[in-house]
Chains A and B, each alone.
Chain A
Amino acid sequence: MISTNQKISHYLDAFQKVENSLLGNEIPWLKQFRAKAIAEFENLGFPSTQDEDWRFTEIETITNKKFDLPAKEETDYQKNEIHGSLLGHCSPDKIQLTFINGIFKEDFSKNIKNLPSGLKIKNFKSMIKDEPKTLEKYFNSFERLDSDGFSLLNDAFFNDGLFISLSKGAVLKDEIYLNFITHSSHKDPVVYPRLLCFADRDSELNLVELNLGEVPLNYLALSASELICAENSKINYCKVQKESSSGFHLAKIRAQVQRNSRFYSHSIALGGSMVRNNLNVALAEEGAECVLNGLYLASGQELIDNHTQIEHLKPHTTSRELYKGILNGKSKAVFNGSILVHANAQKTDALQTNKNLLLSQDCHIHTKPGLKIFANDVKCKHGATVGQMDQDVLFYLRSRGIPKEEAQKLLIVAFASEIIDQIQLETFQNQLTPILFTTLMGKN
Chain B
Amino acid sequence: MKTKNHSIEELTQKEYKYGFVSNIEMDTVPAGLNEDVIRLISAKKEEPSFMLEWRLKAYSHWLKMKEPTWHNLHYPPIDFQKISYYAAPKSKKSGPKTLEEVDPEILATFKKLGIPLEEQKLFSGVAVDAVLDSVSVATTFKEKLGALGIIFCSFSDAVKNHPQLVQQYLGSVVPYSDNFFATLNSAVFSDGSFVYIPKGVRCPMELSTYFRINTQETGQFERTLIIADEGSSVSYLEGCTAPIRDTNQLHAAVVELVALDNAQIKYSTIQNWYPGDKEGKGGIYNFVTKRGKCKGHNSKISWTQVETGSAITWKYPSCILQGDNSIGEFYSVALTNNFQQADTGTKMIHIGKNTSSTIISKGISAGHGQNTYRGAVTIQKSAENGRNYSQCDSLLLGELCGAHTFPYLSVNNASAQVEHEASTTKIGEDQLFYCRQRGLSQEDAVNLIVNGFCKKVFKELPMEFAVEAQKLLNVSLEGSVG
Give the interface of A toward B (CB within 8 A).
52, 56, 343, 346, 356, 358-361, 363-388
B417 within 8 Å of A by Cβ? Answer: yes
A428: min CB distance to chain B, Å: 32
Whole-angstrom distance between the Cβ of A291 and the nearest chain B Cβ: 19
In the docked arrangement, what's the CA distance between A52 and B426, Å? 29
In angstroms, how far is the closest chain A Cβ from the Cβ of B365? 8
Q: Which residues of A contact B402 (CB under 8 A)?
A: 372-374
| Pair B410/A365 contact, Cβ less than 8 Å | yes
Q: Are A388 and B407 in contact (CB under 8 A)?
A: no
A49 CB, nearest partner CB in chain B, Å: 13
Check A369 against B420 for contact (C-beta < 8 Å): yes
Q: Are A364 and B411 in contact (CB under 8 A)?
A: yes
Shortest beta-carbon distance from B12 to chain A in Å: 14
Number of interface residues of B (CB under 8 A): 37
Chain B contact residues, majority secondary structure = strand
Q: Jot down 29 A-B pairs with beta carbons below 8 A, ordered by A.
A: A52-B70, A343-B399, A358-B413, A361-B414, A363-B414, A365-B409, A366-B410, A367-B408, A368-B407, A369-B405, A369-B420, A371-B403, A372-B404, A373-B394, A373-B402, A375-B396, A376-B397, A376-B400, A376-B401, A376-B482, A377-B396, A377-B399, A379-B425, A385-B417, A386-B409, A386-B418, A386-B419, A387-B418, A387-B419
A382, B422: Cβ atoms under 8 Å?
yes
| Nearest chain A CB to B129 CB, angstrom units | 50
Residues in B whose Cβ lies below 8 Å from that of A388? 414-415, 417
Which chain A residue has the least Cβ–Cβ distance from B371?
Answer: A373
Question: Once the chains are docked, how many angstroms separate the CA of A346 from the CA of B400?
Answer: 11
Known: A359-B414, A363-B414. A368 touches B421 (CB 8 A): no
Whether, in the assembled complex, B406 has its beta carbon less than 8 Å from a beta carbon of chain A, the answer is yes
Please state if B417 and A373 are interface contacts (CB–CB under 8 Å).
Answer: no
Q: Are A384 and B411 within 8 A (Cβ)?
A: no
Q: Does B423 belong to the interface (CB within 8 Å)?
A: yes
Chain B residues whose C-beta falls within 8 Å of the C-beta of A386 in the assembled complex: 379, 409, 411, 416-419
Say whether, besides A371-B403, A371-B405, A381 and B420 are in contact (CB < 8 Å): no
Q: Is B424 an interface residue (CB 8 A)?
A: yes
Is there a chain A Cβ closer than 8 Å to B398's Cβ? yes
Tell me which residues across on chain B come within 8 A of A387, comparing CB atoms: 416-419
Closest to B403 in A: A373
Closest to A352 in B: B422
Is B412 engaged at the interface, CB distance under 8 Å to the other chain? yes
Which B residues are CB-close (under 8 A) to A367?
A: 408-410
CB of A412, distance to nearest CB on chain B (Å) = 13
Interface residues in chain B, defined as those with a beta carbon under 8 Å from any beta carbon in chain A: 70, 365, 379, 381, 394, 396-426, 482
Known contacts A370-B405, A382-B405: does B414 contact A358 (CB below 8 Å)? yes
Nearest CB of chain A from residue B71's CB, rounded to whole Å: 11
Which of B379, B398, B411, B424 sits near A373, CB closer than 8 Å? B424
Query: Which residue on B lies nearest to A363, using beta carbons?
Result: B414
Give how many A-B residue pairs fall within 8 Å (CB-CB). Answer: 117
Closest to B409 in A: A367
Give the shortest distance, in Å, between B334 (CB) and chain A (any CB). Answer: 15
Q: A376-B396, A382-B420, A383-B421 are in contact. List 10 more A-B contacts (CB 8 A).
A: A364-B410, A365-B409, A370-B405, A370-B406, A371-B405, A376-B482, A378-B396, A382-B421, A384-B409, A386-B417
Quick check: B417 and A380 within 8 Å, CB to CB? no
- Give every chain A residue within 8 A of B412 (Cβ-Cβ): 364
Q: Is the CB of B399 within 8 A of A384?
A: no
A343 / chain B contacts, CB cutoff of 8 Å: 399-400
Q: How far is the CA of A89 from the CA of B426 in the complex (A)?
A: 50
A386 vs B417: C-alpha distance when bound (angstroms):
6
* Chain B residues positioned under 8 Å from A370 (CB to CB): 404-407
Chain A residues with Cβ below 8 Å from B70 are 52
Residue of A with least CB distance to B390? A384
What are the nearest 3 A-B pairs in CB distance? A358-B414, A376-B396, A383-B421
Quick check: B426 and A378 within 8 Å, CB to CB?
yes
* A378/B409 in contact, CB under 8 A: no
Least Cβ distance of B309 to chain A in Å?
22
Task: Give the chain A neighbours of B401 by CB distance below 8 A.
Answer: 376
Q: Are A378 and B425 in contact (CB under 8 A)?
A: yes
Docked complex Cα distance between A343 and B70 (Å):
22
Q: Which residue in chain B gives the minimum CB-CB distance to A375?
A: B399
Given A376-B426, A377-B426; A368-B406 close (CB under 8 Å): yes
Give A363 to B398 CA distance when docked, in angstroms. Answer: 44
Name which residue of chain A comes closest to B384, CB basis.
Answer: A361
Contact of A366 among B399, B409, B419, B424 (CB under 8 A): B409
Question: Chain B residues with Cβ under 8 A from A385's Cβ?
Answer: 417-420
Q: Check if A369 sits within 8 Å of B407, measured CB to CB.
A: yes
Bound form: Cα–Cα A368–B418 in Å: 12
B411 touches which one: A346, A358, A368, A383 (CB < 8 A)?
A: A358
Residues of B within 8 A of A384 (CB): 407, 409, 418-421
* Centre residue among A374, A379, A381, A386 by max chain B CB count within 10 A: A386
Cα-based distance from A371 to B375 in the complex (angstroms) = 13
Most chain-B Cβ atoms within 10 A of its Cβ — which of A52, A356, A371, A379? A371
How distant is the Cα of A421 from the Cα of B421 in the complex, in angstroms? 24
Q: Which of chain B's residues has its CB closest to A367's CB? A: B409
When A356-B411, A358-B414, A376-B396 are in contact, do A381 and B426 touch as well, CB less than 8 Å? no
Complex CA–CA separation, A358 to B384 (angstroms): 13
Q: Are B423 and A381 in contact (CB under 8 A)?
A: yes
Which residue of the partner chain B has the closest CB to A333? B411
Q: Are A365 and B411 in contact (CB under 8 A)?
A: yes
How many angstroms between the C-alpha atoms of A52 and B415 in the bound complex? 28
Residues of A within 8 A of B410 (CB): 56, 364-367
Query: Cα distance A55–B418 when bound, in Å?
Result: 20
Do the beta carbons of B404 and A373 come within 8 Å of each other? yes
| Contact status A361-B413, CB under 8 Å | yes
Quick one: given A361-B414, A376-B482, are A368 and B408 in contact (CB under 8 Å)? yes
C-alpha gap A359/B416 in the complex (Å): 11
Asked if B422 and A371 sit within 8 Å, CB to CB, the answer is: yes
Distance in angstroms from B350 CB to nearest chain A CB is 12
**Which residue of chain A is the closest to B425 with respect to CB atoms?**
A379
In the complex the two chains form, what is the Cα distance from A56 to B378 in whole Å? 13
| Chain A contacts for B415, CB-based, 8 A | 361, 388
CA–CA, A365 and B410, complex, Å = 6
CB distance from A47 to the nearest CB of B (A): 15
For B399, the chain A residues whose CB sits under 8 A away are 343, 346, 375-377
A363 / chain B contacts, CB cutoff of 8 Å? 414
- Which A-chain residue is minimally distant from B410 (CB atoms)? A366
A373 CA / B412 CA spacing, docked (Å): 30
A380 touching B409, Cβ below 8 Å: no
Bound complex: CA A386 to CA B394 (Å):
23
**CB pair A376 B407 closer than 8 Å:** no
CB distance from B252 to the nearest CB of A (A): 24
- With both beta carbons as reference points, the residue of chain A lying nearest to B412 in the complex is identified as A364
Q: Closest residue of chain A to B394, judged by CB?
A: A373
